[in-house]
Structure 1
Amino acid sequence: MEKNVALIALFTALIAALGLIPKITLGFGVPITAQSLGVMLCGTILGARRGALSVLLFLLLVAIGLPLLSGGRGGLGVFATPSAGFLIGWPAAAFVTGWIVERWRGAPVTLVAGLAAVIGGIGVLYAFGIVGMSIMLDKTLVEAAALVTAFIPGDLLKAAIAGMLTSALVRARPSSVLSRAT
């Protein structure tokens, strides 16, 4: 139990630390940040439940006003911006990513973690993000989806990094990758 709490807190801190990397804000108000890599890693390393809890803790800290989002943003106001859908989708993205890694055992970890990060950390996250952008920017779902295409190259790179980091951790310390624990 104590180990789980410590790991959840550690990965919450990882997402916050990735927020120190400067953001690139696109013209429609949604920034490109490294924090979605942290969300992917929560799922690939901690697994579905712990990964989602880590992201929920991070969002709770942001909601109470801590400036943990890239660019020093925080507070309830961030949940009323064009990026709100992405933020709300982070726990679901971590959960789905972790769920896939926990259950798909027949392939190399690098491939499983990378594809899980693409499905959960990109596919699921974009579903939430597109809906959020559609609402906040008063655009159709198709228009919002077209805007999201700007994120695809960077997010594919993050998914590959998540796969490689998870694989390296499995080789170095297999018991520390809870998503693969038996």
Structure 2
Amino acid sequence: MAMAETTDPTTTDTTDAPARRRSSTTDIALISAFAALIAACAYIGGIPAGGGQVPITLQTFGVMLAGALLGPWRGFLAVSLYLGLGAAGLPVFAEHSSGLGTFTSASAGYLWTFPVAALVTGLLVQYVAGSRRTVALWVFLCAVPGMVINHLAGAFGMKVFFDISWQTAFTWDAPYWLGDIVKILVVALVASEVHKAFPQLLRRG
């Protein structure tokens, strides 16, 4: 009589557990590294511009790069971690500022939508660009909607903070567009090359 074949249900879990732990550790490391990168980018520039005097920094570069490279959820978490560190009192925002008060300042609209910009960019790069994410033009096009969302929220934030008209708010926001277009162009060039070298980077999103 043939013996029935049995399978130990714990075998697969035991085999996969180290791989899952390594993957989770890698995710945490990437999220932390990009949060630190965004904080470093906040210190570069810091030049007040526009009527709202919101500083020009490289924050947008770090935020969009996180979404384009890490994917929607890890990018979202990296930017959220960055904002959390600033809210907790670490001077990681522009002009070495920090604290909860920053989230009700003239630049609040930009800050609040940083995670959303990274999420949208990550979703589009992963699921719309797909295998074409190694082409800089596709990454650039995928980053544009996130940038637009960030600017709309930024203008809204200045409108509320200064109690000004929409027209004035958009006028004050206008000087930041050219710089951000250049930033996401650089993001596209960097991200496309990284995806060529590490095609599995967005595997977990």
Superposition RMSD on alpha carbons, in Å? 1.6
1:16/1:35 contact within 8 Å kept: yes
State the shift of 1:9 in Å.
0.5
What is the distance in 2 between the residues matched to 1:54 and 1:71? 21
- CA displacement, residues 43-84 of structure 1 (integer Å, 9 cap, x when unaligned): 100111110111110000000110001221111121121100
TM-score (norm 1): 0.92
- How many angstroms apart in 2 are the aligned matches of 1:106 and 1:5? 25
When structure 1 is superposed on structure 2, of 13-22 and 40-49 the one drifting more is 13-22
Query: 1:106 offset after TM fit, Å?
Result: 6.1
State the partner residue of 2:78.
Answer: 54
Q: When the two structures are aligned, how many residues end up with a matched partner? A: 179
Aligned to 2:62: 38
What's 1:112 paired with?
A: 138
**2:73 & 2:105 partners in 1: Cα distance?**
27
Q: In the alignment, which residue of structure 2 is the partner of 1:133?
A: 158
Aligned-partner Cα distance in 1 for 2:126–2:135 = 10
Q: How far 1:20 moved relative to its partner?
A: 2.4
For the 8 Å contact 1:114–1:160, the answer to whether it is kept is: yes
Give the Cα–Cα distance (whole angstroms) in 2 for the partners of residues 174 and 53 of structure 1.
Answer: 21
* In structure 1, C-alpha distance between the alignment counterparts of 2:197 and 2:72, rounded to whole Å: 22
Secondary structure (helix, strand or coil) at the match of 1:68 reads: coil
What corresponds to 1:92 in structure 2?
116
Q: Which structure would you say has the larger Rg?
A: 2
Cα separation, 2, equivalents of 1:106 and 1:67: 38
The 2-side partners of 1:72 and 1:126 are apart by: 22
Distance in 2 separating the partners of 1:174 and 1:32? 33
- Aligned-partner residue type, residue 16 of structure 1: A
Contact 1:115–1:159 at 8 Å: present in 2 too?
A: no
SS of aligned partner of 2:45? coil
Tell me the equivalent position of 1:2: 25
1:152 corresponds to which of 156, 161, 177: 177
**Percentage of identical aligned residues:** 39
Cα offsets for 1:145-173 (capped at 9, x unmatched):
12111111100000100000001112233
Structure 1 CA distance for aligned equivalents of residues 62 and 163 of structure 2:
29
1:96/1:24 CA distance change after superposition, 3 Å: same
